[in-house]
Chains A and B, each alone.
Chain A
């Protein structure tokens, strides 16, 4: 690790043709930090994730993962990264363990290492006994658990979660929120979590509020409440995202 930050985004801008999706964005996520990226649909969260995962390149600004520049040292940077995308990315026709082994192979793990890590991560989620079932047979919450387990197989320093709880029932959502927050403490993991559901935020979390491609506010939960003079994050979020539209 050659930086105190797991993720550094600096002066990042991105446009689809003339339409600006991200406008001069800068922020950092430190190790052991759970950073919640709040924003309504169309705020630019998905574009930001596509840039961090190197699906596109930006011409303006920079992204560094554990000090590695995503454009210049993309392979080293990507090795630090675990991702859970918004849509499920498991192969429904394969079993849980086949999906996980595929991912382990892409990250260069040996069969032995892969089996050890798969057991470790699935047990954490109480999913190890279901490893031989086809993904198609799992419910939404269980698929998400497998996806988070998969993202952790290669022991990344930064975990990106793009609205992972969308479409899940309340207990599944709660389970995932609790689990990810526990991971931050136990594994000293940095997490960047995009969502528009404020009840997923814990008091210790960092919050970034995005709207129309810009960062409206960033800081700890207490900071945000103080700066916006609001009683709750929901109020602060409404205030910050409605001001501009009005």
Chain B
């Protein structure tokens, strides 16, 4: 009976997220336009300037568009994770987060379900993006499209957990603009999404170190290798560990007696 309750609640939360996704078409289009602009405009412009040597998982010389595609999948999930955290802040202001929190299920389960639902939506977006990229001649092996699924699940969960953790102590909606500037942009630019590590190392040693330890880089590498049917074990362990750490922090953040909710209430 208890398991059935958990199951129904999980599907209830996923269902709600899916309906919101279907009804908010602008959100879906915006989420797709962003990486597509990067692919069609930014990457096309850089094609000539930036040569990418043969590095795993690639077996031949590749175009810059091919290199940047996994990074853009990561970007979709990064924005989605942060946006679902934005919706948490918004939800909480609107009070519907409270409705979730007063349901008779453990808080960790409710947060995890919310995370799974958000990841589900981000994966849908990622596949639509891959479909468009396919038409643009970025064609990873077919089995890669299958292998990338578990990688997207893990990276989506990790980035979502980061967003969830951040949302537990963002006090007001406006502060989310700060998160954009201080979390999304640095995470994206200081990663392997746009340039490979060796290329970054050539220009700056410290940037290389930051990019190497940036969990977003590892998520992107996990996606990159999976897309070519390979497993990057280091990236897998790193991303999974980052997920566990962010998730624990998020659960602590939403704990009624220990978390930041109390501090928020003061303001």
Give A151 Cβ to nearest chain B Cβ, in Å. 9
B-side interface residues toward A, CB under 8 Å?
1, 4-6, 8-9, 11-13, 15-16, 19-20, 23-24, 93-96, 98-106, 256-257, 261-262, 265-266
Pair A108/B5 contact, Cβ less than 8 Å: yes
Indicate which residue in A16, A83, A93, A105 contacts B12 across the interface (CB closer than 8 Å). A105
> Knowing A93-B23, A108-B5 touch, does A85 contact B104 (C-beta < 8 A)?
no
Compute how far the CA of A146 lies from the CA of B7 in the bound complex, rounded to whole angstroms: 25
With A and B bound together, what is the CA distance between A50 and B256 in angstroms?
Answer: 10
Q: Is the CB of A110 within 8 A of B8?
A: yes
What separation, in Å, do the CA atoms of A79 and B94 have in the docked complex? Answer: 22
By size class, the interface of chain A is 35 or more
Main secondary structure on chain A at its contact with chain B? loop
Q: Which of B15, B93, B102 contacts A53 (CB 8 A)?
A: B102
Overall SS of chain B's interface: helix
Question: Number of residue pairs across A and B with beta carbons under 8 Å?
Answer: 102
Known interface pairs A55-B102, A56-B262, A88-B95; 14 further A-B residue pairs with C-beta atoms within 8 A, sorted by A's residue number = A17-B266, A56-B261, A75-B105, A78-B102, A85-B99, A87-B95, A89-B98, A93-B23, A94-B16, A103-B103, A105-B13, A106-B13, A107-B103, A108-B6
A81 partner residues in chain B, CB cutoff 8 A = 102
How far does the alpha carbon of A107 sit from the alpha carbon of B6 in the complex, in Å? 9
Residue numbers in A under 8 Å from B104 (CB-CB) = 75-76, 78-79, 107-108
- State A50–B12 Cα separation when bound (angstroms): 24
Tell me how far the C-beta of A170 lies from the nearest C-beta in chain B, rounded to whole angstroms.
25
Contact (A83, B256) CB under 8 Å given A90-B96, A94-B16: no
Structural contact, A85 and B95, CB atoms closer than 8 A: yes
Shortest Cβ gap from B252 to chain A (Å): 13
Give residues 52-107 of A contacting B (CB, 8 Å).
53-57, 59, 71, 75-76, 78-79, 81, 83, 85-91, 93-94, 98, 101-107
